[in-house]
């Protein structure tokens, strides 16, 4: 059977379990995708097309691969605009499949912008389909990379979507994805270091979520009786009401990081970026680094013991070894849980007060505290924006299930929260879904709000409206950090609830702390019938939150 390239791609995507594709037009594979019955989720810009698919891969932990298409080729306007989304997906290691038009044969070198070299810097693989009959080969290779090893985006450029090939010559079989188990000798050495440590600490990264290893993480932590911190991107990998959970950031995290003499890092690159901790006195600690990718070993800090392999198999093997060495008893329980509780109580004291605050304008922590009261934390999705909402929520928001909260952003590209919320609704349509944003994030998402109405996506956008760009405090405000690039029109000048209400959202503006819970309930009720909601919480400027250890505030 002779078919065209675009139809071949559409059929293979269906074989791979893909039933919708996010897009911004034009891309020459789109019509075939539509003809083959693929649901096309059309966003309002190319960056969002990438970000929604990217977020879908993150939220489903790669179990369902997000796929997007956007314009490329000689007129690569879409691709150039999508670059921000691609760079973020690459930075955060998200297994998203991106399909774009390729520069046709005979047209290379015509434009100023070099597609191939730019795409190579933001992808695990950039494949240029130079012959139509290579469709099955390229798709096989793409899905192998998307489902194996360290996650990252794959970009396929299709220079001629209507060229034909024989579909029966190389029949496509779906790709499973492969994992590797760690070397048993490394497991033994790692557990020896762990058991001889006086103050070990588990540092869990997003690899735990991608490996579906939250249960194994909990089992190891409990048997070895080791406290746990998670990275921003792994928030929720460990239940945050567990007696061994220390936090993502805050004074208690600082305390345990400083105190530790061994760090068991699992599924984290341990890269001290803009939104993660440094390991204090790293040279004096034994760092046991469990990772799927050898490129992270000895990357920043000296690795005392590496364990390379899948996080789930690694955690299973570590737990078994701890059990074998301790005749099933694990490390003595001692007072660890009490110590964690005391440190958390101390670290949280001021935030707990703020979460009950009656002050006006509303303290943002009151919104977060009330949000936790309204949501079923076992069946909801919350995400943050770049700026104070990230820093505050990652300090206090209790996450009880993996991906009940999506932390994101090794670099944090404003506007991603709405894309994440759209993807969360696609992944779990019955889950209450809330994106918490400041005004900068809101500005980036305004154009895409129509998508929620058109697609009947019951998402709530909760706006912490404080009339200024805060960003990276402390001291960002007014005469503080960036005095000339701070103030924007705030709630006294513009009523955003009217603006967004006129679009068709259920919208409210809340000034009274006592109105937060009723307003959230009304928004979630509107969401349940497929209507998106926007609530503007008129808040004070309050740049207070847990710090990243070892990073001076800028
Ligand atoms: C694409 C992009 N450009 C610039 C930044 C830098 N940045 C981080 S937060 C921020 C302003 C945030 O202000 P707002 O949304 O009002 O949040 P607030 O902190 O006030 O709650 C800026 C400009 C970014 N994160 N992403
Ligand atoms: Mg603001």
Q: Please give the DSSP secondary-structure letter assigned to residue 72.
A: -
CA distance 449 to 150: 33
Q: Tell me the ligand closest to 467's alpha carbon.
A: 2
Q: Is the link from the previous residue into 361 a cis peptide, with omega within 30 of 0?
A: yes
Nearest CA among 72, 133, 131 for reference residue 99: 72
Report the separation in Å between the CA atom of 472 and the middle of ligand 1, taken as the mean of its atom positions. 8
Contact 133, 169 (CB under 8 A): yes
Residue appearing with tokens 């790669």: 62
pLDDT tens per residue across span 339-372: 999 999 999 999 999 999 999 999 999 999 999 9
CA distance 100 to 129: 11
Mutate to test the pocket of ligand 1, among 81, 395, 414 (most ligand atoms within 8 A of CB): 414
Contacts of residue 37, defined as CB under 8 A and 6 or more positions apart, other chains included, come to 14
CA distance 355 to 365: 5
pLDDT tens per residue across span 231-267: 999 999 999 999 999 999 999 999 999 999 999 999 9
Residue bearing the CA closest to ligand 1, atom 23: 471
Report the separation in Å between the CA atom of 487 and the middle of ligand 1, taken as the mean of its atom positions. 12
Q: Give residue 473's pLDDT.
A: 53
pLDDT tens per residue across span 459-497: 999 999 998 887 665 555 555 677 778 888 999 999 999
CA distance 366 to 516: 8
Q: Give residue 554's pLDDT.
A: 43
Is 551's pLDDT higher than 90? no
Is 512's pLDDT higher than 80? yes
Cα 441 versus chain centre, distance: 16
State mean pLDDT over 141-152: 98
Q: Give residue 480's pLDDT.
A: 61
State mean pLDDT over 298-326: 97
Q: Tell me the ligand closest to 543's alpha carbon.
A: 1
Contact 208, 217 (CB under 8 A): yes
State mean pLDDT over 16-30: 98
For residues 22 and 467, the model is more confident at 22
pLDDT tens per residue across span 88-131: 999 999 999 999 999 999 999 888 999 999 999 999 999 999 99
Contact 320, 200 (CB under 8 A): no
State mean pLDDT over 525-549: 95
Q: In the structure, which protein residues have their CB atom closer than 6 angstroms to any atom of ligand 1?
A: 385-389, 412-414, 438-441, 464, 466, 468-471
Report the separation in Å between the CA atom of 254 and the middle of ligand 2, taken as the mean of its atom positions. 27
Report the separation in Å between the CA atom of 490 and the middle of ligand 1, taken as the mean of its atom positions. 15
Contacts of residue 132, defined as CB under 8 A and 6 or more positions apart, other chains included, come to 4, 5, 8, 160, 163, 164, 165
The pair of three-digit structure tokens given for residue 451, joined into one six-digit string: 């998508």
Mutate to test the pocket of ligand 1, among 471, 490, 537, 545 (most ligand atoms within 8 A of CB): 471
Ligand 1: atom nearest CA of 471 is 9
CA distance 525 to 502: 19
Residue bearing the CA closest to ligand 1, atom 17: 438
Ligand 1: atom nearest CA of 485 is 23
Burial class (CB in 10 A: 0-12, 13-18, 19+), 426: buried
Residue appearing with tokens 């909760």: 462
Contact 254, 229 (CB under 8 A): no
Contacts of residue 253, defined as CB under 8 A and 6 or more positions apart, other chains included, come to 229, 246, 247, 277, 347, 546, 549
Mutate to test the pocket of ligand 1, among 83, 387, 466 (most ligand atoms within 8 A of CB): 387
The pair of three-digit structure tokens given for residue 174, joined into one six-digit string: 């779906």
Q: Give residue 472's pLDDT.
A: 62
The pair of three-digit structure tokens given for residue 124, joined into one six-digit string: 């695990």
Beta bridge partners, 506, equal: 533
Strand order in the sheet with 200-204: 245-247, 228-230, 200-204, 262-266, 286-291, 305-308
Q: Give residue 487's pLDDT.
A: 84
- pLDDT band of 543, cuts 50, 70, 90: confident
């Amino acid at each position: 059977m002779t078919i065209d390239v675009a139809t071949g791609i559409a059929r293979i995507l269906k074989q791979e379990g893909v039933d919708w594709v996010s897009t911004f037009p034009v891309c020459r594979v789109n019509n075939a995708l539509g003809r083959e019955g693929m649901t096309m989720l059309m966003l309002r810009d190319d960056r969002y097309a990438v970000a929604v698919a990217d977020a879908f891969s993150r939220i489903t932990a790669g179990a369902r691969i997000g796929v997007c298409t956007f314009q490329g080729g000689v007129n690569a306007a879409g691709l150039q605009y999508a670059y921000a989304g691609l760079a973020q997906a690459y930075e955060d290691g998200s297994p998203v499949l991106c399909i774009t038009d390729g520069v046709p044969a005979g047209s290379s070198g015509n434009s100023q912008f070099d597609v191939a070299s730019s795409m190579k810097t933001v992808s695990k693989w950039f494949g240029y389909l130079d012959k139509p009959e290579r469709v099955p080969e390229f798709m096989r290779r793409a899905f192998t990379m998307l489902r194996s090893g360290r996650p990252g985006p794959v970009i396929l450029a299709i220079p001629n979507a209507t060229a034909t090939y024989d579909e029966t010559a190389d029949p496509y079989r779906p790709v499973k994805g492969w994992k590797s188990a760690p070397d048993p000798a490394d497991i033994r050495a790692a557990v020896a270091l762990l058991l001889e440590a006086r103050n070990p600490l588990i540092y869990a990264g997003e690899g735990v979520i991608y490996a579906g290893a939250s249960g194994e993480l909990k089992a190891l932590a409990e048997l070895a009786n080791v406290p746990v911190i998670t990275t921003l991107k792994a928030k929720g990998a460990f239940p945050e009401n567990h007696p061994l959970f220390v936090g993502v950031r805050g004074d208690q995290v600082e305390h345990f990081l400083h105190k530790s003499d061994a760090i068991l890092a699992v599924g984290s690159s341990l890269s001290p970026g803009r939104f993660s901790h440094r390991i204090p006195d790293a040279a004096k600690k034994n760092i046991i680094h469990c990772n799927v990718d050898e490129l992270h070993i000895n990357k920043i800090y000296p690795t005392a013991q590496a364990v390379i392999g899948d996080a789930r198999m690694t955690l299973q093997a570590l737990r078994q070894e701890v059990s074998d060495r301790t005749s099933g008893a694990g490390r003595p329980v001692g007072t660890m849980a009490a110590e964690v509780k005391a440190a958390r109580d101390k670290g949280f004291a001021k935030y707990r007060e703020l979460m009950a605050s009656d002050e006006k304008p509303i303290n943002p922590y009151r919104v977060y505290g009330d949000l936790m009261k309204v949501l079923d934390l076992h069946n909801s999705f919350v995400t943050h924006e770049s700026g104070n909402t990230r820093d505050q929520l990652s300090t206090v928001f209790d996450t009880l299930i993996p991906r009940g909260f999506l932390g994101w952003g090794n670099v944090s590209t404003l506007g991603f929260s709405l894309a994440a919320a759209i993807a969360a609704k696609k992944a779990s349509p019955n889950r209450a879904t809330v994106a918490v944003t400041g005004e900068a994030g809101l500005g980036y998402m305004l154009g895409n709000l129509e998508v929620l109405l058109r697609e009947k996506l019951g998402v709530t956008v909760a706006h912490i409206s404080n009339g200024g760009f805060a960003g990276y405090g402390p001291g960002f405000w007014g005469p503080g950090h960036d005095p000339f690039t701070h103030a924007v029109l705030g709630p006294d000048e513009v009523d955003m609830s009217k603006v967004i209400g006129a679009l068709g959202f259920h919208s409210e503006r809340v000034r009274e702390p006592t109105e937060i819970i009723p307003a959230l309930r009304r928004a979630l009720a509107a969401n349940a019938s497929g209507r998106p909601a926007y609530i503007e919480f008129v808040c004070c400027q309050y740049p207070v939150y847990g710090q990243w250890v070892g990073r001076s505030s800028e």
